[in-house]
Structure 1
Amino acid sequence: MQIRCKLTLEYGDEKTARIVYDSVRIDDEEFVDTRLDKNRIVATITARSTGSLLHTLNDYLACVSVAEKVVDND
Structure 2
Amino acid sequence: MSLSCTIELDYASPEEANIVLEAIAPDNKPYVEAQIEGSTLIVTSSADTPMEMLHTMEDLLSCIKIAEATFNLVR
* Matched residue, 2:43: 43
Structure 1 vs Structure 2 CA RMSD: 0.8
Report the secondary structure of 2:36's partner residue.
Answer: strand
Task: Give 1 or 2: higher helix fraction.
Answer: 2
Residue 25 of structure 1: CA displacement? 1.4
Q: Distance in 1 between matches of 2:43 and 2:27?
A: 12
* Matched residue, 1:23: 23
Alignment of 1:31-70 (within 5 A): 31-70=31-70
Structure 1 runs (4+) greater than 6 angstroms displaced: none
Report the secondary structure of 1:6's partner residue.
Answer: strand
Q: Distance in 2 between matches of 1:32 and 1:44?
A: 6
Letter in 2 for 1:13: S
Letter in 2 for 1:66: I
Identity %: 26
Q: Distance in 2 between matches of 1:26 and 1:41?
A: 16
Residue 66 of structure 1: CA displacement? 0.5
Residue 14 of structure 1: CA displacement? 1.2
Alignment size in residue pairs: 74
Q: Distance in 1 between matches of 2:37 and 2:21?
A: 10
Residue 27 of structure 1: CA displacement? 1.1
* Matched residue, 1:3: 3
Residue 58 of structure 1: CA displacement? 0.4
Q: Distance in 2 between matches of 1:58 and 1:49?
A: 14
Question: Could you state the TM-score of these two structures normalised by the residue count of structure 2?
Answer: 0.92
